[in-house]
């Protein structure tokens, strides 16, 4: 069947790439040794510190988020060492599997799949580690597989309350530049992110912001490494910052992305995400008034501002709904992944997004629920529209 018009992406990543970024990237190769590229690339890496809210360096890799995870482990944790990884869902699970494959011992926790990490449990686990074998706590800020926002500052306080020297390393791959993460102010030692989510760029780059303590640990330890070693990314020339040929077009895209974020202002970007997320939650709440749809996250204030994960206790098949939306109605939502396969529909609402895009997506989901007889209360789009009207600035 031939379809016209645009396709819409409401995945929790990759996200919409603004035309401005696409156009900025549409250019021939330049000599990366020349002054123009070097100045531009250096400026991006330096200005990324504003996005990470850190005074420390930000290193760039031609990799996806999984590559950034390996950067963290290789630079900081040697085979045979121990880390603590709260079980938040699919992404903490995959990071745990990677650590195990690299010979790192991982202490898991109870599952926090429908609620935020319990800081008291973290404190207890660290207090029990009297010999300080645990080198780091590795956590995901927004666990994209569940839609739960985990409280980074609370985990920091738990580490401090235990009097434990473990580093705090945060995966903000999904949510950097969507929600607040004042890295230095919250005492976070390292943050990782990737290009294709809040930064609105194509997939293919990863970023690692490194605090002073993490730099110190890396200088004296970590695993045998070379390509992922961030110390290899220092130097005078752009060739060194990427340990080889820079991803030239991606860097022009990043320049445009940073310009767009700073033009809007980070607080305004966070506020826009919060507002569009709340509109989504109003719609879901209305559809589920008699329990036909429920939020995966049971704690209302922890429902994330970048993705809303929904369950269907009525027995409706979220994957059938998702496929209908994508293949018949031109809107791509996320499905359940990892432990949640077949159980969830995930509505992504992050990146380059405005009211009509969101209302279109919510309206489309309502069309699909009607067409496929999924039990729900009508008026979800109306509830979202009312909230957007009430909060229009």
Ligand X SMILES: *Cc1c(COP(=O)(O)O)cnc(C)c1O
Residues in contact with ligand X by CB under 6 A are 13, 64-66, 91, 140, 144, 171, 173-174, 194, 203
Q: Residues 280, 358: contact at Cβ < 8 Å?
A: yes
Give min distance, CB of 128 to ligand X, in A: 27
Give min distance, CB of 88 to ligand X, in A: 9
- Taking only Cα atoms into account, the Rg of the chain, rounded to an integer number of angstroms, comes to 21
Q: Residues 292, 310: contact at Cβ < 8 Å?
A: no
Name the pairing type of β-strands 105-111 and 134-140: unpaired
CA distance 239 to 388: 47
Q: Residues 346, 308: contact at Cβ < 8 Å?
A: yes
Q: Residues 318, 146: contact at Cβ < 8 Å?
A: no
Residue 135 CA, chain-centre distance (Å), reads: 23
- The order of strands in the sheet holding 190-194 is 58-61, 206-210, 190-194, 167-171, 134-140, 82-87, 105-111
Burial of 117 (0-12, 13-18, 19+ CB in 10 A): buried
| Residue 337 or 374 having the CB closest to ligand X | 337
| Residue 348 or 380 having the CB closest to ligand X | 348
Give min distance, CB of 65 to ligand X, in A: 2
Residue among 179, 194, 154, 180 nearest 72 (CA): 194
CA distance 59 to 191: 11
Give min distance, CB of 94 to ligand X, in A: 7
Instruction: Give the position of tokens 């008034």.
Output: 289
Give min distance, CB of 144 to ligand X, in A: 3
Give min distance, CB of 204 to ligand X, in A: 9
- CA–CA distance from 39 to each of 139, 231, 236, 258 (Å)? 34, 20, 11, 15
Give min distance, CB of 361 to ligand X, in A: 19
| Residue 126 or 194 having the CB closest to ligand X | 194
Give min distance, CB of 343 to ligand X, in A: 18
CB-nearest residue to ligand X? 65
| Residue 15 or 364 having the CB closest to ligand X | 15
| Residue 147 or 222 having the CB closest to ligand X | 147
| Residue 148 or 365 having the CB closest to ligand X | 148
| Residue 20 or 66 having the CB closest to ligand X | 66
| Residue 150 or 233 having the CB closest to ligand X | 150
| Residue 81 or 171 having the CB closest to ligand X | 171
Give min distance, CB of 169 to ligand X, in A: 12
């Amino acid at each position: 069947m031939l379809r016209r018009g645009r396709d819409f992406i409401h995945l929790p990543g990759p996200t919409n790439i603004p035309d401005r970024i696409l156009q900025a990237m549409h250019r021939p190769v330049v000599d990366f040794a020349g002054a123009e590229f070097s100045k531009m690339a250096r400026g991006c890496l330096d200005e990324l510190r504003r996005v990470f809210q850190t005074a420390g360096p930000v290193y760039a890799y031609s990799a996806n988020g999984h590559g950034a995870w390996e950067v963290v482990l290789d630079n900081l944790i040697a085979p045979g060492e121990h880390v603590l990884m709260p079980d938040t869902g699919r992404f903490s699970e995959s990071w745990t599997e990677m650590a195990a494959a690299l010979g790192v011992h991982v202490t898991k926790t109870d599952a926090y799949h429908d609620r935020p990490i319990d800081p008291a449990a973290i404190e207890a686990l660290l207090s029990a580690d009297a010999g300080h074998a645990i080198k780091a706590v590795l956590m995901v800020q927004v666990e994209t597989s569940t839609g739960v926002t985990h409280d980074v500052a609370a985990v920091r306080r738990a580490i401090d309350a235990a009097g434990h020297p473990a580093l705090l390393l945060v995966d903000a791959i999904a949510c950097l530049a969507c929600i607040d993460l004042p890295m230095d102010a919250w005492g976070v030692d390292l943050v990782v992110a990737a290009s294709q989510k809040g930064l609105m760029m194509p997939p293919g780059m990863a970023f690692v912001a490194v605090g002073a303590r993490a730099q110190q640990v890396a200088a004296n330890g970590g695993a045998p490494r070379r390509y992922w070693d961030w110390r290899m990314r220092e130097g005078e020339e752009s060739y060194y910052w990427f340990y080889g040929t820079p991803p030239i077009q991606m860097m022009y895209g990043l320049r445009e992305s940073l310009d767009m974020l700073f033009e809007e202002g980070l607080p305004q970007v966070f506020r826009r995400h919060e507002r569009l997320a709340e509109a989504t939650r109003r719609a879901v709440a209305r559809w589920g008034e008699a329990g036909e749809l429920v939020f995966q996250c049971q704690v209302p204030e922890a429902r994330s501002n970048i993705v809303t994960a929904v369950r269907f206790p009525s027995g409706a098949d979220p994957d059938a709904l998702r496929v209908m939306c994508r293949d018949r109605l031109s809107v791509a939502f996320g499905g359940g992944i990892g432990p949640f396969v077949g159980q969830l529909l995930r509505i992504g609402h992050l990146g380059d997004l405005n009211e009509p895009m969101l209302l279109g997506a919510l309206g489309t989901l309502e069309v699909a629920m009607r067409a496929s007889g999924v039990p729900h209360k009508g008026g979800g789009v109306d509830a979202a529209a009312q909230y957007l009207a009430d909060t229009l600035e």
